[in-house]
Structures are given as C-alpha cells and as structure tokens.
Structure 1
Amino acid sequence: MANPAVAGLETREMVHADVAEVWEMEKALFPTDAWPQDMFVGELEQKATRNYWVVLDGGKIVAYCGLMCVLPLADVQTIAVAPEYEGRGIGTHLLRLMIDTAIGRSATDLLLEVRADNPRAQELYSRHGFDAIHRRARYYRDGVDAIIMRKVLILTD
C-alpha cells in the first residue's frame, strides 16, 4: 500500500500477535473509553464483516484502525494515531483505506462516531465527505456527546 504520506511506514492487516501492543496504545490514547483487550481479539475473529489494519514504523505500531461492514452499511469501529505521528497524513491514509474497503464491499454508507470535543477529528472526517447527521448525548463514559457522521458511498434510488 504505497502512499507518499506514510513513506517509510508499513501498513498491513492486524493479526492476533498485534493485539497486546494495540491495546497498550488504546489505553494510552483513550483512557476513559479504551476497548477491553478481548474486544480486539473478538473483532479480529469476525473476518466476514471486519477489517483491521496497523501502521508500523520499524516494527513498532504507530497507528491502527478497524472497519465493520454489514451491508448495506459500513462503520468505522476505531482509528488511532500515536501523538508523535500526528500531522503526517497517517489518519488520512487509514481513513481512505477504510473508505475504499467499504466501497469495495458495496456498502452504501460509511458511519462513525466522533467525540464532540474533538474538532481535529471532525475536520478530518468533513474533509473526506462525512456529514454530521445526529448527536448522541453523553455517549462516552466521561459524559461527552458523540457526533454521528455519515459518508454516502453509493447513491441509491
């Protein structure tokens, strides 16, 4: 997956051996909303409806993401980039990968939840054609609202 924005980094499918490292990153990046480690294991076992990827720098995981696709919809399950790697296009790279995969799986829409207090992520999604369609009050454990965003992938009649 050549992408000049992530030159020198490797993107590949997540495997079970990655879960411990991903989970450590998850806990550091999302201290109040971290998924349990066994949730990542369970997600990887649902190959018919899930795709997960990691980005590595010299063998160290620096980003990861996950997509669920249950037609006609797809959903961004998670996307995370280590703070020291932000601003290098890795989030955009992973988002494009999930958009392209959802299109390849024939999903009509791609949905995601984003924290209402995370304007940087909201801007990333907006730049890629996502529109805010709903707000879930107190969705996150610390009481922050979630903004539900949707990107239409295939126009239906």
Structure 2
Amino acid sequence: MTQRPPAPALRLLLPADVAEVVRLERELFGPSAWSAAMVREELDGPGRWYVGLDAEGPGAPGPVGARPSPALAAYAGLWFDGEVGQVMTIGVAPAQQGRGLGRLLLDALLDRARELGARAVLLEVRVDNAPAIGLYERAGFRTIGRRRRYYQPEDVDALTMELALQAEPEQPPVPWRGVVEGSSTPGPGE
C-alpha cells in the first residue's frame, strides 16, 4: 500500500521572507513584480494575512543546505477591510506548479476570510492567465468586471472576480418616495 506524502504545511510569512517573495515575484510576474518595499508594506499592513509554503525536494531552487532559509515554493496574501476579503496575490514557483499548491493556498485564504466574517472575496487576475482563471472558476468565483490596462507596465487588462461567502441579507422593500406607511395622501383642495 502506497502512502501519500504529507500535505505541505502553511506558515505565516515574516519580514525575513521578503527576499524570497521578491525572488518569486520577479520569476513569476516580471516587470509587474512587487518591489521589496511593496512586499514589506503588504506584510506589515493592517488587515493583511500572508502565508507561504517552503520548497523541499524536487523543484526546490538549489540544495537545502546552501540556502540561509528554505526557498518558498508558493505564497499568497489576503487583505480584509472588515467586510470583504481581497486576494492580493497567489504565486507558485514554476517548478512547483501543477501540484495543487495554488488551490491549497486559495483554500487557506478563503478559510481565513470566512473566519474573519467576510461576506465575499474579490480578486483581480490577468486576462491572459488561463490557469489562474480556471482555478478561481473551479473555486466558485464569477467574473464581475474588467479593469482596462490594470497590470503595468505591460498594459494588460484584469478580470475582477468575486466569490460570495455569505448570502446577502434580504432588505425590506423601500417604500415609494413620499409615501409614509399608514398615511393617506391629501386630496385636491385639502
């Protein structure tokens, strides 16, 4: 009987991880990659939650003993504003792609958003990133808009996608303007 390898363990990203996140950002996102200052701001920002998976075994960049800290295989971040969660980023090292790490990270972000009481989660994704769009659609996200030239400097559009986590509370019907319940409208000459 074959045993499955243990699921990768998520960990919170720390300031010591900035260089690794920037390395992966550049590898994955090229000219639109976040700078070290941007990554630090995100890790320290209010309402932010960033997690990562350390690379081990095949596909890890370089021998483990040669790295001062484990290389990141993947990372992701969520911002919660008190009402709605926003997937800020999900990145999986090319050598680690196709192993379900993106879904693992997305599920962790969605679980965190639910814990925080988010009614929905939003995200932007490049229109040319079919694998990510497919991942989000399989998770239940739907496209609600398009942001022209969102990704700079490449001028690439973004799809805005949303996943409802809680049903919107039913609102009572708004009474017609000028009519107050239980009152009568004065007739002519009154």
> Of 84, 90, 95, which residue of structure 1 is paired with 2:95?
84
Please state how far the C-alpha of 1:8 moved relative to its aligned partner. Answer: 5.7
TM-score (norm 1): 0.92
Unaligned runs of 5+ in 2: 57-69, 170-190
- Structure with the bigger RCO (C-alpha within 8 Å, sep 6+) is 1
Share of identical aligned residues, percent?
39
Unaligned runs of 5+ in 1: none
Partners of 1:63 and 1:31 in 2: how far apart? Answer: 16
Partners of 2:91 and 2:135 in 1: how far apart? Answer: 13
Q: Deviations over 1:105-157 (max 9, x none)?
A: 00101000000011111000000010000001111111111000000011122
SS, match of residue 100 in structure 1: helix
Please state how far the C-alpha of 1:7 moved relative to its aligned partner. Answer: 3.1
Q: Which residue of 1 aligns with 2:20?
A: 21
TM-score (norm 2): 0.77
**Aligned: 1:95 with 2:73:** no
How many matched pairs?
153
How do 1:1-150 and structure 2 match up within 5 A? 7=6, 9-46=8-45, 48-58=46-56, 59-141=70-152, 142-150=154-162
Bigger-Rg structure (1/2): 2
Identify the structure with the greater strand proportion: 1
**Paired residues of 1:10 and 1:57 also in contact (CA < 8 A):** no
Q: Which runs of 4+ in 1 moved over 4 A?
A: none
**Paired residues of 1:68 and 1:76 also in contact (CA < 8 A):** yes
RMSD: 1.7
Deviates more, 1:90-99 or 1:139-148: 139-148
